[in-house]
Amino acid sequence: MADIRKEKIIQDILVAVDTVAFTVKDSKLLILLVKRKKNANSYPNQWSLPGGIVNEKEDASTKETAIKKLQSKTGIRLEFVEQLKTYSGRERDERGWSISTVYFVLMRFVSELTVGDDVSEIKWVPVDELDDYAPLAFDHSVIIDDAVQRLREKARYSLLPAYCLGKSFTFNEFHEAVEIILRHPVQKKSLYRRIESSDALEETGEMRDTGTKKAALYRTNNKTHGYTFDRNLAGSYL
């Protein structure tokens, strides 16, 4: 007789998404945080990452949920969204056993942000000042540490910092963004050669007056996301 095994089906698991959105502004690496309302059913009045519960009837995927929720708060189309990791367990949420798929987002700075019904405040926060917002809700401090490490690793071998800039940008602005993320100097000539030898950033054909001279403007294209350098940028971040 066949061995019939009964498997226990785990029910009432909270399925959520969280997004770690980075940008660069005023020589600082910023991350987007929201403040939960005083009457929130978990972690009231604490800062957290943007996110929410997946709507099984409306959302086709966790990625769709993450994009929809973040775009509703920032009002812009997201160009770089990548899955970071999945976090789960019974201790990470006061409401019970939960699983959250976290997405790593790079985007241009947006000053006008929309406060949703479930939060009381939303703001860009310098990564170096996160201690002022502690303790963060859930396990979001751990998630942010993982995301910052991922960002700095990728910035050493790719053009992804460009997604933190405007629709068009100068080489010097891109160079500064790379240095801000890596937290160490990067040789301009080396970085410029890598851009020129690739077709993953393209010139717009327009120039910008920088005060001393006019600088060519660049923009991302459909090859930017997947392009990687043959060698990592020199140096190590602190």
> Domain 14-142: which topology?
Nucleoside Triphosphate Pyrophosphohydrolase (3.90.79)
Name the token pair of 235: 């140096």
Give the Å distances, CA to CA, from 185 to 79, 169, 171, 181, 238. 27, 19, 15, 10, 11
Backbone angles phi, psi at 116, to 5 degrees: -80, 175
Integer CA distances (angstroms), 100 to 81, 129, 194, 236, in order: 16, 25, 37, 31
The answer to whether 14-142 and 157-220 have equal CATH topology is no
pLDDT, tens digit, 9 for 90 and up, residues 156-190: 999 999 999 999 999 999 999 999 999 999 999 99
Q: What is the mean pLDDT of residues 116-128?
A: 91
Average pLDDT over residues 77-85: 93
Given pLDDT bands bounded at 50, 70 and 90, which one contains residue 236? very low
**Residue 50 binned pLDDT confidence (cut-offs 50, 70, 90):** very high
Whether 225 has a pLDDT exceeding 50, the answer reads: yes
Q: Please, are residues 102 and 68 in contact by the beta-carbon 8 Å criterion?
A: no
Residue 232 has pLDDT above 60, yes or no: yes
**What is the per-residue pLDDT for 1?**
47
Choice among 22-36, 204-218, 221-235 with the minimum mean pLDDT: 221-235
- Judging by beta carbons within 10 Å of its beta carbon (0-12, 13-18, 19+), is residue 72 exposed, middle or buried? exposed
**Token pair recorded at residue 70:** 């973040």
**pLDDT at residue 235 in the model:** 53
10 pLDDT above the threshold of 80: no
- Residues 6+ positions from 6 with CB-CB distance below 8 Å: none
pLDDT at 142: 96
Mean pLDDT computed over every residue of the chain: 90
For residue 189, what pLDDT is reported?
A: 93
Residue 93: pLDDT band with limits 50, 70, 90: confident
3-state DSSP assignment of residue 109: coil
Query: How confident is the model over 191-214, as a mean pLDDT?
Result: 92
Q: Give me the residue spans of the domains in the chain.
A: 14-142, 157-220
Q: Specify the CATH architecture of the domain 157-220.
A: Orthogonal Bundle (1.10)
Q: Kindly report which listed range (50-59, 114-123, 134-143, 228-237) carries the lowest average pLDDT score.
A: 228-237
